[in-house]
Structure 1
Amino acid sequence: MGRPRGFDETEVIRAAAALFAERAYDGVSIDDLVAHLGVHRNSLYKTFGSKRGLYTAALRWHVEHEIRPLVAAIGGAADLADAVRQALAAGGGVSGLDLLLMAATERAPVDAEVAAEVTAVLNALDDALAVHLTGDPAPEPAAALTAALLGLRLRARADSSTGGAEQAGAALARRLGPPSP
């Protein structure tokens, strides 16, 4: 009988998701994972098989525990402005849109499994936003809004000033929302 696992698998997956959200897949080495997660290299390989195995586990965990609740909150928002605020307030890191953004730009083009996961989440975000768009039942405006929100998140990652993405998102929501009475 082997030694019992000396780490909490869920905690390792959550911490890996945060690291991948911050630095992307190619920006994280196995040595980085070992150092950041405090888990031996052999234990990582035994549990997840590879760096990619840990990455896909982290992405699935992130989607299930962070993105799906965010999608539900966006769909249940009071109006479009509130939905945009909630999406942008999620911000980065493990509780935000950053891992989805990194997966969409870096891994989805080269990994079919990641592409399928990202596509499903983007479609769910589109659907959640669509309930707040009036006057156009076509899916394209919601997809455009999802893309705009991810673009705002990308800009916020690159811009050290605070509030720029939220202000731009609020302006976008005002422009797209119903006219004021």
Structure 2
Amino acid sequence: MGGVDTSASTVEWSMSEMINNPRILHKAQQEVRQALGDDRGNSVDEASLHRLKYLDMVIAETLRLHPPGPLLVPRENRERQVELNSYVIPANTHVIYWTEAERFVPERFVDRSIDYTGNDFQFIPFGAGRRMCPGVSFGTAVVKLTLASLLFHFDWSLPAEQKSINLTECFGATLRRQYALHLLPTQYCSVL
């Protein structure tokens, strides 16, 4: 996620998932606005990022569902059929080892430390060992600062003709959205 494309892709996936889950969007926005205060003179800065624990969980869940690097996408079963703990896994099945793996649930990280360093092999969005992304710290800070700024300064909604965001993925140099993301920002004003 240290590259520009991967960081931008992660921000776009995070916004897409939050728009499709208004409760999560509201909770993340509320956390950002409370942590930074309602004074419009405040701005999002790196020093205030450590207080945004729910936003950390949103980013982790985004990375779990939509890992930015093409080599880090979920594993695919290449065998004809595999049986694992009495489950039959058909050929060409994407294998993700999580409860309710396809749902966007940031709260799954509440009691887990979010470790991107490759020590927890259940969750390695940046790889592990010598092949690990060298820009992990920079990339995660850029994504968190960008999302916090977007959530602090704007309320977000879909265009009137749209009911939800299509989350179809498109593989390339990065894992990106197949369809462009179009959202309507409304400047947030806490005091009128």
**Structure holding more strand per residue:** 2
Between 1 and 2, higher relative CO (CA 8 Å, sep ≥ 6) is seen in 2
TM-score by length of 2: 0.29
TM-score by length of 1: 0.31
